[in-house]
Structure 1
């Protein structure tokens, strides 16, 4: 089962503490499954933890969350080498999934490793085939032109070599990490990033093709934002921010 058109769910959330497990999937992950349209069988999800080095302990936590949710989940590990075969086998596997979920960490490292293995091209074809691409933090930024990141150290910086499936910048953890909002505004004002779509923690952005069609949240009261250039040029340029109300998922 595939979505009826290319679909991305870009988030700053997706997890919650588990009852008898370390974590469970929150409403955003379940919404990614809903967007795929799968029914009458267990949803097939592949998790990528590239951005954190494919930590096996976290893979185990994700596997337990999938078991609780009733999902059929596999991990695509790239460290120390791909565990699901060569590039052709990886693509065939991903095309058979309902959802790809990408975890957070270093988006700069993620993008470099993905390109080594040809996943930048593979993911474009998987997206076009209707497999829902989704993720949190680095797993959100990767689908865009770029965004803000701490991949290079504790000081937030721009990353501008995202996969570009979505022709915007992306700002994650917009309400919870000091400096994110200010940096997005500065990067948009000086032209480093184009129009940038941002999410508070717990919020997700739904795209059909490259059109933003829905804003959803698993946390009441949270929002998304569109930041664009408002006026001025060069050092006098300023950015404006439009708040988008988010629909609460149940």
Structure 2
């Protein structure tokens, strides 16, 4: 059973901290009533910006969920599958798509995220975090200030 993909072009906690309507919508996709969803923020595209992580917690601690995050840049994740297991919603932040995907591949995170989607989990994100779920995309991460095709994005489908 495949999960949901929610690709945001803008909005959400990172752009509108006083308007969490999109974030509430994402949480509404969680269909289990026995517990609150575990929401894992993945800020790789900004180099695991501490400010971005703090804004995530500031927003999601107000909502009916259990927020957590997965920092990859300076951490030593020995088992990416274990880092993904136990989370229900994956929210990927915006930033540099190409660099993010390179880190994901290098750390072995791309395949566990695909498996999470196939198991019915919710994948979402804004900007780079939105286009990362698709086979091909247009991005300014290849040459700054120019839009170019970005191929070999891990195809979740």
TM-score under structure 1 length normalisation: 0.57
In structure 1, the partner of 2:12 is 15
- 1:1-250 equivalences under 5 Å are 5-15=2-12, 23-24=17-18, 26-82=20-76, 85-87=77-79, 90-151=80-141, 152-166=143-157
- Asked which structure has the greater RCO (Cα within 8 Å, sep 6+), the reply is 2
The separation in 1 between residues aligned to 2:92 and 2:84, in whole angstroms, is: 13
1:41 shift after superposition? 3.1
Higher strand fraction: Structure 1 or Structure 2?
Answer: 1
The answer on whether the counterparts of 1:10 and 1:139 sit within 8 Å (CA) in structure 2 is yes
Q: Compared with structure 1, are the counterparts of its residues 146 and 17 closer, same or farther at alpha carbon in structure 2 (3 Å cutoff)?
A: closer
1:136 shift after superposition? 0.8
1:118 shift after superposition? 0.8
How many positions carry a matched residue from both structures? Answer: 156
TM superposition outliers: structure 1 runs of 4+ over 6 Å: none
What are the ranges of 5 or more consecutive residues in structure 2 without an aligned counterpart? none
Q: Compared with structure 1, are the counterparts of its residues 133 and 17 closer, same or farther at alpha carbon in structure 2 (3 Å cutoff)?
A: closer
The answer on whether the counterparts of 1:15 and 1:23 sit within 8 Å (CA) in structure 2 is yes
TM-score under structure 2 length normalisation: 0.88
Q: Compared with structure 1, are the counterparts of its residues 146 and 91 closer, same or farther at alpha carbon in structure 2 (3 Å cutoff)?
A: same
In structure 2, the partner of 1:213 is none
Moved more, 25-34 or 47-56: 25-34
The separation in 1 between residues aligned to 2:8 and 2:44, in whole angstroms, is: 17
Q: Secondary structure at the match of 2:33?
A: coil
**Higher CA-based Rg:** 1
The separation in 1 between residues aligned to 2:107 and 2:18, in whole angstroms, is: 30
The answer on whether the counterparts of 1:16 and 1:26 sit within 8 Å (CA) in structure 2 is yes
The separation in 2 between residues aligned to 1:17 and 1:132, in whole angstroms, is: 19
1:101 shift after superposition? 0.3
Give the superposed CA RMSD. 2.1
1:110 shift after superposition? 0.8
The answer on whether the counterparts of 2:13 and 2:23 sit within 8 Å (CA) in structure 1 is no
